[in-house]
Amino acid sequence: MPTPDALDDAARRLGDLVPVLNRALERGVAQDFTGARPTDAEIALLTLVVDHPGLTVREAATTLLMKPNNVSALVSQLVGRGLVERVVDGSDRRVAHLHPTSLARDESEQVRAVRAARVSAAVSRLSEGEKGALFAAIHALTSLTEHLHDAAG
């Protein structure tokens, strides 16, 4: 078991690495995406709507750790681009459920494919030991993400 100082150091390093990793992936999307590239926030919302059709703006805001009015503005942009459809709730007309269009599913798949290709290419340059460590860390990183999300929510 690592010492508390080693864990603190690892936490600092991981906190420094995650934004750099995200920027590298988003630059890859910007370089390899065909057509008008969605913003990072649009990609996050679009991915969420594709994965969870029918969610509300409030649910999306909670999941993305964003303010509902900011998500609502993003939804309006995505609706305007033909990527998301708002469907008014039958029992509460103030609530709209978000559904992806086929274009949204295509764009989301393209973004995921670009990210996966970039990561796969980088992983292929790792040593076998590094690949094993990375594979083993995916579960822990998923759990860490859930804990950080819960703490921020």
Confidence (pLDDT) at 80: 95
Chain segment 46-87, per-residue pLDDT in tens: 999 999 999 999 999 999 999 999 999 999 999 999 999 999
Averaged pLDDT, 102-123:
93
Q: Measure the CA–CA gap between 98 and 79, rounded to whole angstroms.
A: 10
Q: What pLDDT score does 106 carry?
A: 93
Q: Residue 37: what pLDDT? A: 76
Kindly report the average pLDDT of the chain as a whole number. Answer: 92
Task: Please tell me the pTM assigned to this model.
Answer: 0.83
DSSP state of 66: -
pLDDT reading at 130 higher than 90: yes
Give the Cα separation of 25 and 40 in Å (integer): 10
Third-level CATH fold of 13-152: Arc Repressor Mutant, subunit A (1.10.10)
What is the pLDDT, as a whole number, of residue 112?
Answer: 92
**End-to-end CA separation in angstroms for the chain:** 29
pLDDT tens sequence across 12-29? 999 999 999 988 888 888
